[in-house]
């Protein structure tokens, strides 16, 4: 991609932009068979194989992969599920664990050498997860609080002076039904999108100044760029984990909010 860009305009550096995310099909003609699609499938496979090798025959005294995966399980249970779901935590662990691992592996694809494309930077994938949680949230809310009670609890939380509701009710409705699912998906998408763009930018600058247009003045910039690429990769690793954690946490929060009306 970078090479193409450089070839197209040999004399001028062009920073990578959103076109970075428009990847042609692997097999021309089969429009849906693109790199993100393949990586999404690969991610699912990675998660399933990893979890299968860890949890298919779990031992009382954990060894090897089970040990590592149990750390993940404990993390999701203690940091994500229990704070928001309390005693219902165990029932929703399957979903939350799947979401956490899947999102994390999607994100990790952004720094795996040669693959280097975060799956969640294509918004369709976060939308699938956030949309599922959204539908589940509304279903659970209506089931546990009643179709009317759900919206009543959402828009008219008790214990506030009456005039406040005039402002609050529509805001709460908008927040819960429109803004929350939108930000749920977009937060993950935007983080991965921006992160990938930053990495691409620094590596493109480094490549440009050290290989394409090597000059005494440009070389230090190129070196700094490479260093920045490495540093940003470290930061990106952290953000990838953080976003997976946050995504799963919000899912737990939405589910918990539907199971029990907020007080």
59 binds another protein (CB under 8 A): yes
Query: Could you tell me the smallest distance in angstroms from the CB atom of residue 9 to another protein?
Result: 7
CA dist 185 → 189, 244, 245 (Å): 6, 11, 13
Pick one of 3, 11, 27, 56: the residue that binds another protein (CB under 8 A): 56
- Alpha-carbon radius of gyration of the chain: 23
Considering only residues 10-29, where is the footprint of another protein by CB under 8 A? Answer: 17-19, 21-22, 24
Pick one of 108, 127, 200, 228: the residue that binds another protein (CB under 8 A): 127
98 binds another protein (CB under 8 A): yes
167 binds another protein (CB under 8 A): no
Query: Could you tell me the smallest distance in angstroms from the CB atom of residue 189 to another protein?
Result: 8
5 binds another protein (CB under 8 A): yes
101 binds another protein (CB under 8 A): yes
| DSSP annotation of 21 | G
| Phi, psi of 44, deg, nearest 5 | -60, -45
| Phi, psi of 60, deg, nearest 5 | -65, -40
112 binds another protein (CB under 8 A): no
115 binds another protein (CB under 8 A): no
69-77, 140-148, 160-168, 243-251 -> range binding another protein (CB under 8 A): 69-77
| Alpha-carbon torsion (119, 123, 129, 132), positive or negative | negative
CB within 8 Å of 64: residues ≥ 6 apart: none
> How far is residue 210's CA from residue 228's CA, in Å, rounded to a whole number?
14
Pick one of 3, 27, 29, 32: the residue that binds another protein (CB under 8 A): 32
93 binds another protein (CB under 8 A): yes
> How far is residue 69's CA from residue 67's CA, in Å, rounded to a whole number?
6
> How far is residue 22's CA from residue 26's CA, in Å, rounded to a whole number?
12
User: Closest Cα to residue 107, out of 125, 134, 80?
Assistant: 125
Interface ranges with another protein (CB under 8 A): 4-5, 8-9, 17-19, 21-22, 24, 31-32, 36-37, 40-41, 43-44, 47-48, 51-52, 54-60, 69-70, 73, 90, 93-95, 97-98, 101-102, 121-125, 127-129, 132, 186, 189, 193
């Amino acid at each position: 991609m970078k090479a193409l860009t450089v070839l197209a305009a040999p004399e001028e550096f062009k920073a990578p932009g959103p076109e970075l995310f428009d990847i042609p099909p692997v097999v021309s003609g089969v429009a849906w068979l693109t790199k993100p699609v393949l990586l999404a499938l690969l991610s699912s496979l990675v998660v399933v194989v990893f979890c299968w090798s860890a949890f298919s025959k779990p031992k009382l005294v954990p060894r090897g992969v089970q040990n590592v995966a149990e750390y993940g399980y404990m993390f999701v249970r203690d940091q994500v599920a229990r704070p928001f779901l309390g005693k219902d935590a165990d029932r929703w662990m399957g979903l939350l664990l799947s979401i956490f691992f899947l999102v994390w592996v999607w994100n990790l694809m952004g720094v795996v050498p040669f693959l280097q494309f975060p799956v969640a930077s294509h918004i369709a994938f976060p939308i699938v997860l956030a949309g599922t949680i959204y539908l589940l949230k509304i279903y659970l809310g209506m089931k546990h609080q009643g179709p009317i009670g759900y919206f009543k609890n959402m828009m008219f939380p008790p214990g506030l002076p009456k005039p406040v509701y005039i402002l609050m009710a529509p805001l709460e409705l908008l927040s819960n039904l429109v803004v929350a699912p939108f930000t749920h998906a977009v937060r993950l998408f935007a983080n991965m999108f921006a992160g990938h763009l930053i990495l691409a930018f620094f590596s493109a600058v480094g490549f440009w100044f050290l290989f394409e247009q090597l000059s005494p003045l440009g070389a230090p910039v190129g070196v700094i760029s490479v260093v920045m690429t490495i540093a940003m990769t470290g930061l990106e690793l952290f953000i990838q984990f953080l976003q997976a954690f946050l995504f799963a946490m919000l899912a737990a929060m939405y589910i918990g909010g539907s199971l029990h009306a907020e007080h």
